[in-house]
Each structure stands twice: as C-alpha cells, then as structure tokens.
Amino acid sequence: MSAPFVVQIAARSEAPDDLARLVALTREARSAGSEAVIVDDTGRGLDASVTVGFLAAEVPEVRLAFVAGTGLNAPYNLARRVLSLHRETGGRAGVLLREDGTDEVTTRARALQEHIGFADAATRLSDYVDVVAKLWTSFPEAALVGDQQAGIFADADLVHPVGHEGSTYRVAGPLNVPTTGEAAPALYTELTNAGPTDHPEVLRIQRGQGSRILRRFVVDSPGDLHALLTDAEVAS
C-alpha cells in the first residue's frame, strides 16, 4: 500500500471506553502509515476539535485533523483554533472543511451589508479556504522577537492584515496566533460534498503546490483498517 491515505474516525460517546477505542484506532492508523487521522463531526455529540486535542495528548507523533462545518464556524475562529492546536501539538494539526451553510456570526454581519450577494456552495467553500489560508500566514513566527533588552516583543512589520473581501467572507486579520516552525496545518476538503454517510476521497489542499487526492478509510472498530487496506491492495 503505497498510495497516501487518511483514516477517518468518529466518537460515539464521551465514555472512557469509547475514548479508549478512539485512541486504539488512532494508534492503528499511525502504525499503518496513515497520513493523518481525521475526527468526524456532524454537529452533534463530542466536539471533534476537543477530541483531537485529547488524542494529540494521548498518541504522540500522529497527525490529527477535525471535521469542521462552515455552517457552525466563522473563519477567524476556526483558523485560530486549528493554528492553536498546530502550535500546541508541534505541528500535527489540521482541519477537514465541510461546506454546510454560512455560520451565524457571518450571517449577522452580512445582514447589515445588503450589497453582498449570495454565492453558491462551491464558491463559498473556496472563499472560506482562501481566507483560512491567508490567516494562517498573517503572523509569522519570525515576528516573535522577544528582545528583552530593547523592549521589543514583536516585529510588527512582519505581521500583516489579510483584508480579505470575498464572495461571502470579509475578514480583516491578522490572526493573533503565530505560525509554527513547521508547515502550515493540513487543510482538507471532500471531493464531493456527499456528507458523512458516503466516504468519498478527500483532497489535501496545498497552496502554491497544487492539491493532492487522498484515499479515505472510515473505520469504526480496531481491525477494520487492516481489512480495508488488504482489500484495497487486492483491488489495485
């Protein structure tokens, strides 16, 4: 199995035995060479970003991403939460962005600005991806100078607003979280927006370097992944 893939898991409950299942699945995915473990989120049950924070503490080294819907998260908040996790985990965090409407905060802001038109879902998603990617580079780590003698904490000239004015989102920036020494967080989208019942492949978006298509395996119980990988190998 050489083609890159990701493993997607989901919490069933907040009970300790379910968290132990998620830890086991994450370890298994790491051993099998999964590029990342993506924690699904349907808007109900345990919040996937909290689950990812928990898994990052329990399972070293593995890359983790959480599913986030555009309908629940304003871009500034989501970009900030992902980059915070990325810093906190030594560069292991990412997000799978799922287009499911416009969040409540953005909707309120737009209601005050009648001149903004309505975009279709694909345009909204691409607008969201743009603004998140811009926010992620708006505060370079190099700006954290910390010169105690001179009394200069940050080189503010390196920190720049994003001034994003897209089809749906208007975000001034910059983000108040600096980049890490590592690459930016992984940003995934689904190839078709079929929702959680179907399991299409996912796209890893790499700005400036094109994008990559990754096979996605959705696993529920320890052992599932081994069988899926074996089947995939036979099929290829």
Q: Which residues bind another protein (CB under 8 A)?
A: 13-14, 19, 43-47, 49-51, 53-54, 56-58, 72-74, 76-77, 80-81, 84-85, 87-88, 103-106, 108-110, 112-113, 139, 144-148, 151-156, 159, 169-178
Q: Minimal distance in Å, beta carbon 121 to another protein?
A: 18
Q: Answer yes or no: are the C-beta atoms of 93 and 82 closer than 8 Å.
A: yes
CA angle, residues 193, 105, 42, in degrees to nearest 5:
35
The Cα 140–Cα 57 span in angstroms is 25
Of 14 and 233, the one with the shorter C-beta distance to another protein is 14
Listing DSSP states for 174-186 in one string gives --SS---SSPPPE
The Cα 42–Cα 218 span in angstroms is 14
Of 144 and 218, the one with the shorter C-beta distance to another protein is 144
Of 8 and 168, the one with the shorter C-beta distance to another protein is 168
Of 46 and 229, the one with the shorter C-beta distance to another protein is 46
Q: Minimal distance in Å, beta carbon 62 to another protein?
A: 15
Q: Per residue, what are the HEC states of 108-146?
A: HHHHCCCCCCCCCHHHHHHHHHHHHHHHHCCCCHHHEEE
The Cα 101–Cα 73 span in angstroms is 10
State the amino acid at position 49 in one-letter form: S
* Alpha-carbon 182 to chain mean position: 15
Q: Minimal distance in Å, beta carbon 212 to another protein?
A: 26
* Alpha-carbon 92 to chain mean position: 11
CA angle, residues 38, 43, 44, in degrees to nearest 5:
105
Of 104 and 233, the one with the shorter C-beta distance to another protein is 104
Q: Minimal distance in Å, beta carbon 57 to another protein?
A: 4
Q: Minimal distance in Å, beta carbon 159 to another protein?
A: 7
Please list, in sequence order, all residues whose beta carbon lies within 8 angstroms of the beta carbon of residue 194, skipping any fewer than 6 positions away: 200
Q: Minimal distance in Å, beta carbon 218 to another protein?
A: 19
Of 14 and 201, the one with the shorter C-beta distance to another protein is 14
Of 65 and 175, the one with the shorter C-beta distance to another protein is 175
